[in-house]
Every structure is written in structure tokens, then in C-alpha cells.
Amino acid sequence: MSNTIYLILLTKSMRTFIFGLISILIPVYLIHLKYSTFYVTLGIFFVVAGNATFNLLLALYEDSVGRKKFLIINSLLMIISAIILFISYNFVLISIALFIGNVSVTGTETGPFQSMEVGVIPKLVKNPGRILGNI
């Protein structure tokens, strides 16, 4: 396998580990900020809505924008989201951060990164290297 595939698998492993932590920490963080159950649930809703939105945008514009640019944009949005969550106690800003953060509430990776990886890996692996070979 190429180094690119190893890099993709390494970054996927790191993201899955972090997403597992974040899926637990988001509700705990919102409760720590003294938000009610309604706001915690609303925060989780924004995470799910953001994932769905970015997956749709990826499906619609991936060919015109390119996978590399989408990865860069999503990574930058995750950084911006983390900064907003770190410095803000305002629920509107927190909601925006949760929406653009592309994190998961299930402890697995379900955002646009997974969609891109599923599209890239088959193009990088030659037929003999695939599970079913030349079938």
C-alpha cells in the first residue's frame, strides 16, 4: 500500500478516537456550563444537522471543489469550532461551533471525512491489493 493510504488510515484512527471522546464531552461540557437538558439536546441536534449539511455539500460540490480543498476547509472549520468552544459561553456561538465542527455524537466517524475516505481509498489501491482481487 502507498504512504497516502497509511496516512489516511492514521488520520482516520486519530479522528475516530477524538470523536469518541468528543461525543461524551459535548453534553458534559454543556451541562458544566449550566445549560438545561433542552439546550444539551439542541446542541446535539446542531452537531447532527451540521454533519448532514456538510455531507450534502460534499456530495454536491466535491467534483467542482476537489477532495483536497474540502479536507482543508473541513479541518479549518474544526479548528475554528474548537476555538469558539474554548472561548465562548454564549449558546448561539456554541451552537454555530457545534454545527460547523463536523464532529460525531455516536463516537464514530460519520462526517464528511468518512465520505471522502471511502471515495479516495479505492482509487489508491490497485486491483490485486483489494480484498476480492481482480473480480
User: In whole angstroms, what separates CA 71 from the centre of its chain?
Assistant: 10
| pTM given for the model | 0.78
Apex 36 CA angle, 88 and 77, nearest 5: 35
| C-alpha to C-alpha distance for 105 and 103, rounded to whole angstroms | 7
Condensed to tens digits (0 to 9), the pLDDT of residues 19-68 reads 888 888 999 999 999 999 999 999 999 999 998 898 888 888 878 888 77
Condensed to tens digits (0 to 9), the pLDDT of residues 62-94 reads 788 887 788 888 889 989 999 999 999 999 999
